[in-house]
Amino acid sequence: MSDSPSRSVTVPQNDPSFDDVWDELNYRGLVHVSTDAGELKTLLSGPPITFYCGFDPTAPSLHLGNLVQILVMRRLQLAGHKPLGLVGGSTGLIGDPRPTAERTLNTKETVAEWVGYLSGQIERFLSFEGDNAARMVNNLDWTAPLSAIDFLRDIGKYFRVGTMLKKDAVSARLNSDAGISYTEFSYQILQGMDFLELYRSYGCVLQTGGSDQWGNLTSGTDLVHRAEHASVHAIGTPLITNSDGTKFGKSEGNAIWLDPALTSPYAFYQFWLNTDDADVIQRLKIFTFLPRTELERLEREVAESPFRREAQRTLAFEVTALVHGVEATEAAIAAAGALFGQGDLAALDVATLTAAVGELPSMTAAADTPVVEALVSTGLVSSLSEARRAIAQGGVYVNNAKVDADTALVGDHLLPGGIAVLRRGKKTLAGVTVTK
């Protein structure tokens, strides 16, 4: 599908039509569970506070689920509050318990490398200037010097095993065949210790995270209360799922990554463009900074003119531009247009072209392979005779140029990288990479 953006990307800012950031977070559906709502509203509408969100380096990139948390941090910072972005150099060595099985532990060197990658991604979305400048922290800095005896005496004494066993992630594993190791069982203590350390060092009084982390979040609030006799808070955002109940951010088992080397800007843009009508407004609320008036207008558009897909085009442009920049977004849009005959494929840069073709049914072929054979091999037709009929009817294109039955994939029919885009009719595409 080819579309062009109708406006420039929205500058990140909070909507002044709301009384405070707490009301806007609720409007956008970003508060699934929290500590006392009244106290949080008062806290967030008052003088600047310090808050944090943690990210474990269990992969070399953040994904869309993490983006929810980053944008919550940005909204709170725009309201004047001070963010601490924590990348878990120590908790990443352990891993929070998964519901089904023990995590594979990564090496210390790998985790350290991933800490750097994730820190760089988070830093792009926050401001490190001004009175409420963000700060990045690594929990390895305060856990590495701590001896096991000190950890048990100073931290472990505040935790009750009965309470720890009731945490959802722990109880799920206890009731599974896999069970749970003491290593992963201890994860909630380590995360709780983070909140205590940040409270003591920076006066941090709020932690945000996904609602699936609620047990770990409350481990921190409980620890600060027990150790410091202080009241601190937590906000758990909802797990983002599609309207059919499937987990959001997954495509055939693969996460949608923020790193363009893992998920190309083209694939990223297409992911958002393909959002279902039932999900698109909620995605716009969560992942963009569009004001309430524009969101309500787009909601009417979905109801009255869903065929226009204006909301999907807006969502795809806004989020892709936010993550990858306007230039990469425009290249992704141009690639989509060119694939469907509404632009010049040869004008695309090799990286964008390769990424776009990578999303199509694809094959490799030897030089001089007849187009009729490539049509069959890619599944665009079921037989050579059907391929010849389709060509005779003028419905087959190679790189947007009509071909005849004798055309072979060579020379002028190839794009940089030896790529050929086959198209049957208006919408059925496949990619071929020609080898020498």
pLDDT band at 432 (very low <50, low <70, confident <90, very high): very high
Query: Which has the closest alpha carbon to 332: 263, 398, 425, 380?
Result: 263
- The residue type found at 321 is A
Query: What average pLDDT does this structure show over 301-325?
Result: 97
Sole residue written with tokens 């509404």: 342
**β-bridge mates for residue 257, sequence order:** 63
pLDDT band at 2 (very low <50, low <70, confident <90, very high): very low
Query: Which has the closest alpha carbon to 207: 43, 23, 27?
Result: 43
pLDDT at residue 169 in the model:
80
Report the percent of the chain where pLDDT is more than 90: 79
**Are the CB atoms for 269 and 332 separated by under 8 Å?**
yes
Query: Which has the closest alpha carbon to 269: 348, 343, 338, 322?
Result: 322
The Cα–Cα gap between 260 and 242 comes to 23
Q: Decide if pLDDT at 396 tops 90.
A: yes
pLDDT at residue 177 in the model:
79
Per-residue pLDDT of 96-150, as tens digits, reads 887 777 888 999 999 999 999 999 999 999 999 999 999 999 999 999 999 999 9
Q: State phi, psi for 328 to the nearest 5 degrees.
A: -65, -35
**Are the CB atoms for 199 and 224 separated by under 8 Å?**
yes
Per-residue pLDDT of 52-93, as tens digits, reads 999 999 999 999 999 999 999 999 999 999 999 999 999 999
pLDDT band at 426 (very low <50, low <70, confident <90, very high): confident
DSSP letter at 257 equals B
What are the structural domains of the chain? 30-237 (3.40.50.620), 241-346 (1.10.240.10), 360-436 (3.10.290.10)
The Cα–Cα gap between 17 and 54 comes to 30
pLDDT at residue 4 in the model:
47
